[in-house]
Chain A
Amino acid sequence: MSKISLERLQARFPKDVLAVETLPHGDDVARVRREAIVEICHFLRDDPELDFKMLSDLTIIDSLTRRSEAFGGSSRASMEAPPHVRQQPSEAAVRFTVIYQLYSITKKHRVRLKADLDDKEPHLESVSSLWKTANWLERAAFDLFGVKFDGHPNMERIFLYPEFKGYPLRKDYPVNKRQPLVEERNFPDLVRGPGPGPGGAGVPMSQTLVGRINVNRETYD
């Protein structure tokens, strides 16, 4: 029952569907070529037996530190990314993976599409012409991961302010980096230390070595 969408998809796009997987509880996963994503989405939406009229979510995975996190090296990703880590090549063959969660309101089934992107200048064809909700979802993905969607009517930041530099949910974005809009006050602080600068009041708590063990001062910018 749940496999019907994958079977139809494979029959229709034998070359573009790279791999399929059926997980429990009706989770069908199809890994597709990124060049054919609009065609595939169009087929899934308009096919009468599949009828995926709803795009529930569009997310992105950054696989930069996937392997080190799997072996318990999560600090590399979530604590701080020192420059020598940022310069290392990506561990995974593919860095960004765009994920589409589709749902059919009439048939009550769902499917998940995955499309791998190139490492440098990641971009993908927009599906905002198929589902209107993709407009904001793609803007959010662009805002936080820097993946550009070609053909999107308004490819701008949706959450963050225009002065923001970089993409904060990428694994190589330093977790401690702050980009304030208002100039922060300089005042003596008993815990955080006096004044702006490393260890001072102008830096967040995570940079002050208070309650942290594996923190190296020299990794902060």
Chain B
Amino acid sequence: MPVDLKETSEAALVPALVTRREDAQSFMEKLVSGSLGWARKYSLFTYPFVTACCGMEYMSVASSRYDIARFGAEFPRFSPRQADLLMIVGTINVKQSVVLKRVYEQMCEPKWVMAFGVCASSGGFYDNYATVQGADRIIPVDVYVPGCPPRPEQVLDGLRLLQDKIQTQKHSLISRDQAAIAEDAGRRKGFFQKILSK
């Protein structure tokens, strides 16, 4: 097949001129993101949303024998406003889904979610009228830990996976929701227009 020389020469030139956005980030931004990620992944405050028998295994993970505190997820906070890791431990039924969504919305950004056990991950064997088929149908989930219930080692493995994810995410010192910024700008514009028209 004959090669179009014009197109190939253009294609060879274009990547040199256009850099991707993350490539264009400054050295400082990357440094800040990396250190914030490092700080955040080792200081996870967990909110245990314990609804079922997986709670026993959660106790084992949290207490001295397996000791999730070794990995920085130090102690559970029983207020969603003080937590940044939501652990969904157990079956989520339809009546609880409302509460789960509310708890998730009460948590401050940045926040992460771990589905602890098969029931939270996929509904498990509760394939029936009363059970939500996985908490990810209600809220976004970062890490799924399978098992019925999972061994504590599996939970720690899931936590390490989440830490890797947090480290590779983009963190910035001031992060604002772009939609909120646009809404705010629109509101200001409307306010000034109102004043000027008077």
User: A181 an interface residue at 8 Å Cβ cutoff?
Assistant: yes
User: B65 an interface residue at 8 Å Cβ cutoff?
Assistant: no
Q: Nearest chain-A residue to B124 (Cβ)?
A: A205
Interface residues of A in 143-187 (CB under 8 A from B): 159-161, 168, 173, 175, 177-182, 184-185, 187
> Are B133 and A205 closer than 8 Å at their CB atoms?
yes
Given A180-B94, A182-B138, A204 and B101 touching (CB < 8 A)? no
The residues of A that contact B101 with a CB separation of less than 8 Å are 182
Partner of A161, one of B94, B127, B137, B140: B94
Q: Which of B122, B127, B129, B136 has the most CB of A within 10 A?
A: B129
Given A161-B94, A161-B95, A205-B123, A184 and B137 touching (CB < 8 A)? yes
The residues of B that contact A168 with a CB separation of less than 8 Å are 128-130
B148 CB to nearest A CB, Å: 15
| Range of interface residues on B (Cβ < 8 Å) | 10 to 19
User: B98 an interface residue at 8 Å Cβ cutoff?
Assistant: yes
Q: Nearest chain-B residue to A202 (Cβ)?
A: B137
User: B119 an interface residue at 8 Å Cβ cutoff?
Assistant: no
Count the A residues whose beta carbon is within 8 Å of the partner chain — how many? 20
Inter-chain CA distance A187–B142, complex, in Å, is 13
User: B60 an interface residue at 8 Å Cβ cutoff?
Assistant: no
Inter-chain CA distance A179–B94, complex, in Å, is 8
Inter-chain CA distance A89–B98, complex, in Å, is 39
The residues of B that contact A175 with a CB separation of less than 8 Å are 127-129
> Are A185 and B140 closer than 8 Å at their CB atoms?
yes
Given A175-B128, A177-B129, A187-B136, A204 and B123 touching (CB < 8 A)? yes
The residues of B that contact A161 with a CB separation of less than 8 Å are 94-95
User: B132 an interface residue at 8 Å Cβ cutoff?
Assistant: yes
A123 CB to nearest B CB, Å: 23
* Binary B-proximity of A188-206 (CB < 8 A = 1, otherwise 0): 0000000000000110111
B26 CB to nearest A CB, Å: 33
The residues of A that contact B123 with a CB separation of less than 8 Å are 204-205
The residues of B that contact A204 with a CB separation of less than 8 Å are 123, 127, 133
> Are A180 and B97 closer than 8 Å at their CB atoms?
yes
The residues of A that contact B127 with a CB separation of less than 8 Å are 175, 204-206
* Binary A-proximity of B96-120 (CB < 8 A = 1, otherwise 0): 0110010000000000000000000
Inter-chain CA distance A9–B129, complex, in Å, is 40
Inter-chain CA distance A206–B136, complex, in Å, is 17
The residues of A that contact B133 with a CB separation of less than 8 Å are 178, 204-205
14 A-B residue pairs with CB within 8 Å: A160-B130, A168-B129, A173-B129, A177-B129, A179-B94, A180-B94, A180-B137, A181-B98, A182-B98, A182-B138, A201-B137, A202-B137, A205-B133, A206-B127
Question: Footprint of A on B, CB under 8 Å?
Answer: 94-95, 97-98, 101, 122-123, 127-130, 132-133, 136-140
Question: Footprint of B on A, CB under 8 Å?
Answer: 159-161, 168, 173, 175, 177-182, 184-185, 187, 201-202, 204-206
Q: Given contact pairs A181-B94, A182-B101, A185-B140, enumerate 7 new A-B contacts (beta carbons under 8 Å).
A: A168-B128, A178-B133, A180-B94, A182-B138, A187-B140, A204-B123, A206-B127
